[in-house]
Chain A
Amino acid sequence: MNRAGLRQSPRMGVCAFAIAWTLATFAACAAVAAPAMIRYDHPVYKNGKRVLWHGAWRGSAGRSYSHNAPARATVPEAPAAAAAAAGAVAATAAGSAAAGAIGGETSAPLKPFAILADPGDLSASRMAREFVEVLGDQGVQGRAIVGSTAPTGIARVMRTDMADFAIVTLDSLAVSVKYQPDWPKRVPLVAPLAPETIEVVASKDVKSLADLAGKSVSFGDPDGTTGISAKLLFSRLGVTVAPTYEPLADALAALAGGKRDAVVVLGAREAHALDGFGGDGRFHLVAIPWSPPLESVYAPARIAASDRPNLIRANDTVETVAAPMALVAIDAPAGSPRADALGRLARAFFDTYESTLTAGRDEHWGEINLAADAAVPNADWPRLAAAQGWVDERKASANASLDAFRATAKAAGAGGGPKAEDSDRLYDSLTRWRSLLQ
């Protein structure tokens, strides 16, 4: 599916689903009088106004009405829903395993879901599509939708209940803590993803990023996550530019026409607009050399001429940086029914993770260690409980020398990052652990 395909009216589907869900829920509430009350797991809108927020209580118990209501509508509230529901047939092994692990019962179908990827980050869009495909093979319905994953975009998605998961850059998520102090709780991490490279395309006259001071630089889609990452990157490097915001194709056209001095691109592995750009040899990728202000957020990266034949001299490479990425669950505070429902989807995905590693899928899946903690820079950000539980269940047996290596790393990483001499202790510690394995 291409980018245009992704854009096909996600809102319609969401509306239809929301209406069906609401109707079924109210019908179910009327049908069964229950002694307990359960929380709404997402806001309820009426005529565009929010009438109920998460804290509201509904006068019925999901767990008791779930036996009578259609499975599709009740599964979010009741992981242990009726097994006989029509959708249960579709939930295959992974789905039932995930349900069994949490609900203690089998065959509960997983809720259809939506995963959000930023329009400016085409690699994220591809991973979102593949996430949907992998769960689709397990009989779980889902859609990849395109929308801003910058903090403002995530906030919008939360208000409108547009998506359940999102692929985000962690540098931009870190910015949100200042304005949204409750987000670490409401937007828990699910899995780390491989870092995305940031590329700066400019005319060959631009020798370094410093040459861009005061110049017009395109930061990607208005309100997109590329803009946040680019802003952070330039501010960390102490270069002040005049940002403009437009989609990549427009930005490249403006660059070619001399109206922009540079274009910042995130996740350009899949940006085919960039593949065909610069055939006339006027442009190149500006190097972002590794420097201390970049650490604790970015990782160093390198792009080879074979990846960007039009923008890098033959046999040469260009240094750049990569922004940390992660899959997050949207609006799933610990203990909420929604966290349960999304947790089951996350576990189903992890259970079937092997199939992301097959040929034809994004090779970045093969670089992801699901056991690693995705770390939001400078913030204490929890992981979705079910995802953490999945990892914990598979924890390797305790190993004193590995623990010592980890402790050394933790000590070296604390307080302003590691120093050069820390590498000696770290390397010795790695060697000690490693030599015991042979």
Chain B
Amino acid sequence: MQQPVFVAQTVAAPAAQKAAPVTAHALAKEALGKLASALRGQAADQTPIASLDIPIEDARHLCAEGLIAFAKGDIAAARAFLKRAAEDGDARALMALGDTYDPTTLSQLGALGLKGDEAVARSYYSRALAAGVGGARERIAALAAK
């Protein structure tokens, strides 16, 4: 298992993409996020969490939906959910997004028809690496070794 990597600054990367409009909803999300971080902080030694910015409920929910779609092989839906999860702050979704484009992952998953895209996979893995998600470096290396 990868070690949790805690990065203080870089975690804002996925969220910054969106140039988040400050609305009442966003503020509520922020407060929830802080609460979630506080609560999850105690359990951090048991559950490896990829980034310091503990993703809030919505993002984790979307990530779960994305991973379920991915496991079913529904790549288009998986990408849609994971993109939204990453935008909402779940950095793990960036790793999984990389997987939905990684030709190795797709062929092992038994996907037929669609082709992966190494460049896109690499860019998502890089963003995951920047966000401090464990294992991203290995995936990038594996892509380069192909």
Contacts and interface: CB of A to CB of B under 8 A. Distances in A.
Contacts of B71: 405-406, 408-410, 426, 430
A372 B75 CA distance: 8
A299 B68 contact: no
Given A423-B90, A427-B67, A427-B96, A369 B111 contact: yes
A290 B138 contact: no
A207 to B, nearest CB: 11
A292 to B, nearest CB: 8
Contacts of B107: 396
A423 B60 contact: yes
Q: How large is the interface on A (under 10, 10 to 19, 20 to 34, 35 or more residues)?
A: 35 or more
B75 A412 contact: no
Given A423-B64, A427-B67, A367 B79 contact: yes
Contacts of A368: 75-76, 113-114
A419 interface: yes
A297 to B, nearest CB: 11
Contact of A369 (B2, B58, B65, B114): B114
The dominant DSSP class at the B interface is: helix
A324 B71 CA distance: 17
Contacts of B104: 437
A420 B79 CA distance: 18
A394 B112 contact: yes
A396 B108 contact: yes
Contact of A437 (B47, B79, B108): B108
Given A301-B80, A324-B77, A420 B108 contact: no
Interface string B1-33: 110000000000000000000000000000000
B135 A435 contact: yes
Interface residues of B, number: 49
B135 A366 contact: no
A300 interface: yes
Contacts, number: 148
B65 A371 contact: no
B80 A322 contact: yes
Contacts of A234: none
A293 interface: no
Q: Name which of A372, A395, A421 has the most chain B CB atoms within 10 A of its CB.
A: A372
A364 B109 CA distance: 20
B60 to A, nearest CB: 4
B13 to A, nearest CB: 18
Nearest to B87: A302
A420 B72 contact: no
Nearest to B142: A438
Contact of A418 (B48, B61, B84, B92): B61
A357 to B, nearest CB: 7
Q: Name which of B64, B83, B96, B110 has the most chain A CB atoms within 10 A of its CB.
A: B64
Contact of B73 (A350, A371, A437): A371
Report, nearest first, the 7 A-B pairs whose CB atoms are least far apart. Answer: A409-B71, A372-B73, A418-B64, A396-B110, A420-B60, A423-B64, A426-B67
Interface of B: 1-2, 47-48, 57-58, 60-65, 67-77, 79-81, 83-84, 90, 92, 95-96, 99, 104-115, 135, 138-139, 142
Interface of A: 192, 194-195, 290, 295, 299-302, 322, 324, 350, 353, 357, 364-373, 375, 391, 394-396, 399, 402, 405-406, 408-410, 412-413, 417-424, 426-428, 430-431, 434-435, 437-438
